[in-house]
Every structure is written in structure tokens, then in C-alpha cells.
Amino acid sequence: MLPYIIAGVVLLLLIIIAANIKIVPQSKAYVIERLGVYSETWQTGFHFKKPLFEKVSKIVSLKEQVVDFRPQPVITKDNVTMQIDTVVFFQITDPKLYAYGVEHPMQAIENLTATTLRNIIGEMELDHTLTSRDTINAKIRTILDEATDPWGIKVNRVELKNIIPPTEIQDAMEKQMKAERQRREAILRAEGEKASKILVAEGNKESMILAAEAEKQSAILRAEAVREQKIREAEGEAEAILAVQKAIAEGIAMINEANPSDGYLVMKKLEAFEKAADGKATKIIIPSELQGIAGLASSLQGIVDGSSNDVAEDK
């Protein structure tokens, strides 16, 4: 009988020991009370709880948590009532303060968020509220973080999830947005037409400039061509004159080489005299050696004329 009793006692002890062995998992913390008084906080790892004296008062998660609060009615500075719901990201940093700091911590955070939101929105107008989400988020987070610090809670972030104004305000906002879009469309269309006209004017201007430049270059080229043609003509005339003078010089040289007689020279002088007399000069200087010949020519001309008159009378 005794062996059975001993075996039962050993089995009971093993069950008690196994029941009081605690393994705290990652991102968890156990708040331990001894005889109803806070004793310690167990972190991750193996722990043994003293039977009958200690108990696990609270198991706390150390992960960052998210809580989405229901929409809260708030009134803006310009007396517009709207619904705003918030999302709070928080993390428990002190399990002891979290366990003993406040009763129902989530309810406390929700009420604190609602009152803080009403205070902040009450100092802002509707338009400012809709465009200042970041400012509102930062103010709420700062206030909540300071208020929840004695509770062992760290508020990391606060976001306004939805801002729902009244139906008539939404209709007015939609009309305003539509009018603003139409205004922007008209401005963009006008700017586009303006830019198009500017581009067309600049294109015409550049076209005229290019046409004037082309005409200028064409005139320069024509002037160059005319100048080159005149140069070529002058060069040709000069070459012709040189050729004539050269021919005359060669003729004179050939005459000199031939040693012409006096009669030939006199005939040449008469030819020269004839050319001079054929001009428009009023005075003609006749060389002395040609005067006799000229007189002889006049006498012969007179005789010929007299003979012609006698013949006419006979007839």
C-alpha cells in the first residue's frame, strides 16, 4: 500500500512542477504577482512559478498594435458638423504600467482620442481641416503619447482615416471642384491657343528672316557674278587692245624692216589725213610735206568739176 502512496505523491509533485513551468514566447511579457502584489515581469525564455504563492496576472503583447476607432462627430470653427474616424498605432513599452496604470486601456485611448480630436478641429475651419491632415495627425499623436506614457503605452502614429462632411457640404464641394476644373480647363485652353499663336508668329518671323537672308545672299551672288563678268569683259577688251597694238607694232616693224619708199610713206600720210579730216574736228594741222600734195589734189578736183560743168552745158 505504501509504494502506491509514494508513487501518487511523486506523480502529484511532477504534475505541480509541470504546471508551474512557464516558457515566455517571443514578443510577449508576463506580469507576475506574489500573494496579490506585483512581483516581477517575465521576459522571453524559461521561468518557474512558485506554486500557491505566484500567479500570472497579465500576459502582455509587445508588438506594435493597431486600433481603428469608430467615427466621432466633431464641429469645426465655422459650425460645420462632420464625422471623423481615426486609426491609432501604439506599442506597450512597460508591461507593469500597462497592467496597473489604467482600467480598460483601449477604451481610455479611444475617449482621449475623441476629446483631443474635438479640441483640435474646433479651432479650425472646414477648408483648413480638409487640407491639414498631417498637422492634425501630428498634434493628436503628441497629445496621446504624453497622456498614455504613465500607462506604459507608446503612441507611434495617428491617422485620420475618413473625414465625412454633411451631404449639403459634399454637394457644394463637388460643384466647387467642378467649377475649378472648368476654370483650369479654360485657362489651359487659352494658354494653349496663346502658345500656338506665338509659335505661328515666331515661325512666320523666322521664315521672313530666312527669306530676307536668302534674298541678300542671292543679291550678293548676282553682284559677284556681274562683277566677275565685267572683269572678264575688261580683261577681254584689254587683251583685244593689246592684240591690236601688238599687230600694229608688228606691222610697223615689218614696214621698217622693208625700208619703204617715200611715195609709200606719202600715201600713208594721205590716208591718215583722210581719217583726220573725216572727224568732227574744226581745225586740222597739215604737215608741210602734205601741203603740196593737198594743193595738187585740190587742183585736180577743180579740173574734174569744171569738165563736168562743160559737159552739162553742151547737153
| Beta carbons within 10 angstroms of residue 74's beta carbon | 20
Element (H, E) at 94: none
Q: How far is CA 134 from CA 50, 130, 138, 141, 297, in A?
A: 51, 10, 6, 11, 133
Task: Tell me what the mean pLDDT of segment 226-249 comes to.
Answer: 84
Strand partners, 29: 60
Quick check: 277 and 284 in contact, CB under 8 A? yes
pLDDT band at 289 (very low <50, low <70, confident <90, very high): low
pLDDT band at 309 (very low <50, low <70, confident <90, very high): very low
Q: How far is CA 57 from CA 18, 106, 153, 196, in A?
A: 19, 18, 18, 78
Distance, in Å, from the CA atom of 67 to the CA atom of 8, rounded to the nearest integer, reads: 50
Burial 100-116 (b: 16+ CB within 10 A, else e): ebbeebeebbbebbbeb
- Look up cell 550678293; give the residue: 220
pLDDT in tens, 256-280: 776 665 656 556 666 655 555 555 5
pLDDT at res. 303: 47
pLDDT at 313 over 50: no
pLDDT in tens, 250-259: 777 777 776 6
pLDDT at 288 over 70: no
pLDDT band at 90 (very low <50, low <70, confident <90, very high): very high
Query: Is the CATH code 3.30.479.30 the one for domain 64-165?
Result: yes
- Measure CA of the first residue to CA of the last residue in the chain; give whole Å: 212
pLDDT in tens, 55-65: 888 999 999 99
Quick check: 293 and 266 in contact, CB under 8 A? yes
Q: What is the mean pLDDT of the chain?
A: 81
Lowest mean pLDDT among 215-224, 267-276, 288-297: 288-297
Element (H, E) at 300: helix 288-314
Per-residue cell: 283:
581745225
Q: How far is CA 192 from the centre of its chain?
A: 17
pLDDT at 88 over 90: yes
Burial class (CB in 10 A: 0-12, 13-18, 19+), 256: exposed
Delimit the domains of the chain by residue range.
2-60, 64-165, 167-278
Task: Tell me what the mean pLDDT of segment 30-58 comes to.
Answer: 89
Element (H, E) at 195: helix 167-258
